[in-house]
Amino acid sequence: MFKKSRTFRLQKVRKNDAQQKQLEEYAEATLGSGNLRSAVTLPEGENQNEWFAAHIADFFNQINMIYGTITEFCTPQSCPVMTAGPKYEYHWADGVTVKKPIKLSAPEYIERMMSWIQKQIDNEEVFPTELGKPFPKNFPSISKTIFKRLFRVYGHIYHHHFNHISLLGEEAHLNTSFKHFIFFVIEFKLIEKKEMIPLKGLIKTLVKNQK
């Protein structure tokens, strides 16, 4: 069962609904065609920040739901450190309340991280909802940080909970979500290659198999 938490919430609804819905429908239509390269490409005439914002909200919710199905298996006892395999360990810092990176269990790291992303989405100065209100100049940089951190959750799930995902019959959902995510970050160069090493083999397979 999906565990609800106060730090795991759906994103707010943006007021420029018509444009947002148009972006979402475009992505869904091209994604459904099976060509992910087309699905992630910025539609002609669309604003890149809007495109990023729409996908951040989408991937945030997808990962929310996927991780929510395995929270009973991801505990401070089973996952005392946030890792993606034996070689990659992540420490938490948000640059505001926690400036020096600290070691946390995987569930605490993910809870803090998702709460941080939710705060960014809820912040009108970062994710403006008023039609015509500009995004901040550093929005591309903020987006990169968000995508980098979301990738770490995929990494943790694949390395430490894929057997749980399989037992729940969710592997197809996870793989489709991650494949879409990877094509998006590759298209816009949102995550450095060194950050994607924990899932390098899987990514290579996904990209290779895409026509």
3-state SS record for the chain: CCCCECCECCCCCCCCHHHHHHHHHHHHHHHHCCCHHHHHCCCCCCCHHHHHHHHHHHHHHHHHHHHHCCCCCCCCCCCCCCECCCCCECCECCCCCCCCCECCCHHHHHHHHHHHHHHHHHCCCCCCCCCCCCCCCCHHHHHHHHHHHHHHHHHHHHHHCHHHHHHCCCHHHHHHHHHHHHHHHHHCCCCCHHHHHHHHHHHHHHHHHCC
The 10 Å Cβ neighbour count of residue 175 is 15
| pLDDT value of position 26 | 45
Reduced to 3 DSSP states, what percent helix, strand and coil does the chain have, rounded to the nearest 5? 55, 5, 40
Residue numbers of the chain with a pLDDT score lower than 50 = 1-17, 19-20, 23-24, 26-33
Q: What residues have CB less than 8 Å from 121, skipping those under 6 apart?
A: 11, 12, 56, 57, 60, 127
pLDDT of residue 22: 52
Q: Report the chain's mean pLDDT, rounded to a whole number.
A: 85
Q: Structural domain boundaries of the chain?
A: 17-209
Q: For position 21, what pLDDT does the model report?
A: 52
- On whether the CB atoms of residues 164 and 173 are closer than 8 A, the answer is no
pLDDT of residue 15: 39
pLDDT of residue 30: 41
Q: Which pLDDT tens digit goes with each residue over 154-166?
A: 999 999 999 999 9
Q: How far does the chain reach from its first CA to its final CA, in angstroms? A: 36
| CATH dotted code for 17-209 | 1.20.140.30
> Can you name the residues that pair with 156 across neighbouring β-strands?
none
Q: Is the separation of the CB atoms in 39 and 31 below 8 Å? A: yes
Query: What proportion of the chain, given as a percentage, has pLDDT over 70?
Result: 82
Alpha-carbon dihedral 116, 154, 55, 197, rounded to 10 degrees: 100
